[in-house]
Each structure stands twice: as structure tokens, then as C-alpha cells.
Structure 1
């Protein structure tokens, strides 16, 4: 057996033979929904989160996951709120037996030039797109460390986190921040056998992708770039969540069809 294969086997054994548990935020629709279903197809039990106003959509996702033969619960919460995130993760660990994969996917989009962006709009983007990431990373890491079996933390960055764009100053700033948080957390958590990575999509055919295209059109910004279905993102998250990805950490993997080369 090669060293890499041996290491993967050790990790799988260290997990203890139990079914791994994932939590996906922002999972009521779009990329988050697709990720949740893909992880269920991969054999994980999956908890899904979104705002309480979307609880009906969350319950539909729960049913789809259970139809695949996996356990699932809905854990509605505002992921910008410290105690709600802490309680959300505690609930997942209690009801599903732990937490092995945290996918911090929730986020919002603001398409507006810098000169028109208000301080309140800037602060809301930072709160939803970066504070929520910090809280999700922090409390997921605490749970994984307490379990002692390592884990995977995966966050949502963007092509806008690698290249600035007209009309996206707030969004770009938040997604660049996700990359910095991811790299720092990867350094800190490596000793606990926890990898921390991010995915950085280009334009994806979701409601947010449609909002981005509409915003660019209103600002007369050229959007002649590749577009893809959310499954291309969920496939990358699927790989990052697997035991054999143990040697990948601190990375923000581009999924943009060549729209931008790292």
C-alpha cells in the first residue's frame, strides 16, 4: 500500500466506521441545495440550514435527502448570530452523532458601484458573508476538536475573491476575506487533522447568478464569461469532503470554466 493510500485508510479507520455527518448552510436553494444532495449521494448524513423564513424549503430538502436513504434534519438559524450558530452545531452533533464536514455556503450578493454603496450596505455584506463564515468555522472546529476524529471545513469564496470587478466592491471584499480566513484556519487547525478549504465559483445558474447577470446588465458591464450548473460546484465540494483529500488544505479552488486563471 502506498503512503497516501495508507494515510487515507488510517483516516477512514480513525473516523470509527460511523456514517459521517455534514452540515450545509444556505441550503434551501441554489448551490447549497445541490451540495447537500451531492453529499447525501456520497453516503453522508446531512443537516441543512437556512433562515427560519425558508423553513418550508428546508423541509423539502430534508425529505429529498431522506429519500436517498440518509438521515437529515433542518436547523434553521441566522448564521450571523453567535449563539444561533453555536446552538445549530450543537443540535446537529446531538441529533446526528457529531459533525465531520462543515460547508459554510450562506451568503448574499450586492451589485453596486463603490460610489453608490452605502456604509449600511457595506456592513451588511461583511456581516453576512464574513462574520457568518468566522462563526461557522469557529464552532465547527470546536466540535470537531472535541470529537477528536478530524474533519473538513469548506467555505464559499468566489471568482470575485480572486479578481476585483466593477460593480462588486463589497462582494469582492468579502470573498477575498473568506480566502484569508480559510488560509489562517487551515494553519491553525492542521494539528487537529482538520482541513480548511474554499470553493471559488464563477457565474452559476442559480437565483444569485441571475441577480448578478441582471445587475451587470443594468450597469452595462460585459458578462461574456462561461456559465455552468451548480453541480460543477457540488462535485468539487464532494471531493474536498472525502478522506482522500487530506493533503489539500488552505486552498480556494476555482470553478469558473477558465474565466480567470489563478
Structure 2
């Protein structure tokens, strides 16, 4: 209740201050917009749904053409017993795919979060092992793939473990939830969430005090881009990172 009341009080203050500043002629919309980089979400699945439901067929497909063995567990996770890939390919030149996964696996070139080309094949290229990626399957771990036109870099819980140099520069990619390890299969995989994002250039105004901002406007503050949630006129101390009622990260 206290948080709700503070939010209402802040909104009321915004309306009063905006009106008073408008009366004094302070109604600018900030500095001229400048190009800034934000991460645009291409895929985000938290696997919400009832126990036993199948994963979203518009997002996921069986990697080998057969019916996948996968179902939601009713607690926001996907229980997986076969290979599952994204239903679409991603042609963007740069991006990041991430998944929070619980699965037992040994060291090896395969990844719990893997890649295929746009024809469903393993891409051609060369592999460089950077560190061990062995996990025991008792806990969830975050698997990340950062891709560029020429390389893919895998990380495990923020630690780089594999670099792949692509033979075909910039070919589109599919992402795969993969149980196979050196010709063997684990007892199953639990997936908490999967996201795929790509960086894009947007026009964002520099934040400053005593400035009128409109809902939906992009504002940059300390190299982070925010989206204005509610029209208001800013005051000192109302920086985007301090007033989540007014700004959300873009």
C-alpha cells in the first residue's frame, strides 16, 4: 500500500509541477535527439501455462521434424526430453541469445543452447575452447551466445567457454535447446526462460531537469536509454534511474 501511495503522490506532483512550469514558459522537449543503442527483444519466453501444456508452437518446433517431447511444468518452466529449436531464424548481424537451464552435461563442443543455420544444419566453422563448461545438473545455469557476422561466443554464467568462427559470414541462425552430449542423452532438461535480443540504433533525447517529456519518448541518461512511462515535466532529482514510475529501460 505504501508503494502505491508514493506512486500516486509522485503522479500528483508531476501534474502540479508540469502545470506550474508550463505557466512560466518552461515547456521544452529536451536536447535534440541523438542516436543511441538499445537492445530490441526478438524472442522472450518464460514458459507460463498449465502443467502438461505444450510450448508455444509459433515460437518452437521439433529440430528433427518429429514430434518434440516437451511440456510446461505449470511453474514457469519447460520440461524437455528432445531437441527443440526456435520456429524462426534470426538474420540480424549482431545479437545475444540467453537461456536459464538446468541439465547435467559433460565437457564437449555441444551446448545446451545451440545453433543451426537457416536450413536446420550445424553451421560450418572452427571451434576454439576457452574454458570448461561442465555442469552437474543440480542447479540452473545461464547459457549465452553472443553473435556477430563472423563469430559466435558461448558463455556459461558470464564466463566465456567457447568461440566459433563462422565459415559463412552472417548467415541466419536458429537457436536450439539441446540435450545431446557426445552421443549420449541426459535424463532431461528444465528451461526457466529464453530470450533473443539484437542491438538497434534509436533517437533518444538527453535527460535534463525542467524539461517536458511525453509518454513513449526515448530519453538517454548516463548511456542508458529509457522510455517515458507518463507525461511530466522533470525536476532536479527526477533522473530516470531514480523514478521508475516515470521511466522504464527501453
Q: What TM-score do you get using the length of structure 2 for normalisation?
A: 0.21
- Normalized per residue, the structure richer in strand is 2
The structure having more radius of gyration, on CA atoms, is 2
- Normalized per residue, the structure richer in helix is 1
Larger relative CO (CA 8 A, sep 6+): 1 or 2?
Answer: 2
Q: What TM-score do you get using the length of structure 1 for normalisation?
A: 0.21
